[in-house]
Amino acid sequence: MTTSLLLQAPCVEMERLENLWFQLSKTACNLKCKNCFLSCTNKYNVKSFLQMDKIKSSLLDSKDTLKAVYLTGGEPLIHPDFNNILRLCLKFADTTVLTNGTMLNDKKTRFLKQIQQDYSYELIFRVSLDSYDENKNDAIRGYGNFRKVLSGIQNLLKYDFNPIISVVNFEGEEEELIKSKFAEVFKIIDFEVEDINFKIIPPLKLGGCKNIYGDYSDTDFVSTEMMKNKEFDCKNSRIVADDGVYACASLVNDFRGKVGSSMKDFSKRVFLESNACYTCATCKTRMFNNNW
């Protein structure tokens, strides 16, 4: 009798849970970008939001090793209980809000600063833009949003936040070119973004992004060779979504990324079976967590 060897995807074993993510608003967003890898929609209801008790219990279950909290969506700022969630997270760790930046008007930003001032942990905003070219950005994100985001960044600066700029490199441009083009744009609002606050990542060819930029090829999987000297976010991070715990933000709702039902009891091991893991492996920085 012969035994055939099954090919198995490489796996990542978690060492310590340091970064806890929450998908606050599933696929609900105030925008409807054509290239959204989650195919988010601006039609949502009360069921679209993560419940506070789940957030609280997850924080308590993770607090011993926790270093950073991340709030994402969709657009996390549309969560009806966002302010209280933020207050809760800031009791535990530095908290990064991943936002499209369009809701950061003066009043809202001033209010968020007031919240931050009650805590010693830092509140950080990571703001996404698709292109330094206003027309290209707005063709994907909706007319007028480029200027809204610049205004949001301006408000963050006004209230002494130090925003991270997040750019998906859809066109495969040189990073130095992207940075210099954005630097020209940000001159208008007198903003000099530091290198460490510039997060440029490759596209996850899922959802709307796949429709525009094409699918992965049959060979776009992580090889053992690609694992060498690479730090994957799933080594020290997990994301809590409405229906359980996942390895990372790109695999929410993908059964291959599901690692458990709660932060009390989840698998430390993740098999890199998804094409999204391939994107992760080609990313020069960490794909999801902040660059520091």
Residues at the site binding ligand SF4, with contacts judged by CB under 6 A: 12, 29, 31-33, 36, 38, 40, 73-75, 100, 128, 232-234, 247-248, 250-251, 257, 270, 272, 274, 276-277, 280, 287
User: CA torsion sign, 122 to 20 to 104 to 151?
Assistant: positive
| Closer residue to ligand SF4, CB minimum distance, 163 or 257 | 257
- Is residue 286 classed as helix, strand or coil in its secondary structure? coil
B/e letters for 140-172, b = 16+ CB within 10 Å, e = fewer, are bbbeebbebbbbbbbbbbebebebbbbbbebee
Give the nearest distance from C-beta 66 to ligand SF4 in angstroms: 18
| Closer residue to ligand SF4, CB minimum distance, 30 or 95 | 30
Q: Determine the residue type at 121.
A: Y
270 CB-contact burial (10 Å; exposed 0-12 / middle 13-18 / buried 19+):
buried
Give the nearest distance from C-beta 250 to ligand SF4 in angstroms: 5
| Closer residue to ligand SF4, CB minimum distance, 57 or 282 | 282
| Closer residue to ligand SF4, CB minimum distance, 20 or 248 | 248
45 CB-contact burial (10 Å; exposed 0-12 / middle 13-18 / buried 19+):
exposed
| Closer residue to ligand SF4, CB minimum distance, 39 or 57 | 39
CA 251 vs. chain centroid, Å, equals 12
Question: How many angstroms separate the CA atoms of 167 and 94, rounded?
Answer: 22
Give the nearest distance from C-beta 123 to ligand SF4 in angstroms: 20
| Closer residue to ligand SF4, CB minimum distance, 76 or 93 | 76
DSSP 175-196: HHHHHHHHHHHHHTTT----GG
For 162, half-sphere exposure in the C-beta direction (CA atoms, 13 angstrom radius) is 8
| Closer residue to ligand SF4, CB minimum distance, 44 or 198 | 44
208 CB-contact burial (10 Å; exposed 0-12 / middle 13-18 / buried 19+):
middle
Give the nearest distance from C-beta 252 to ligand SF4 in angstroms: 10
Give the nearest distance from C-beta 282 to ligand SF4 in angstroms: 10
Give the nearest distance from C-beta 212 to ligand SF4 in angstroms: 12
Give the nearest distance from C-beta 196 to ligand SF4 in angstroms: 20
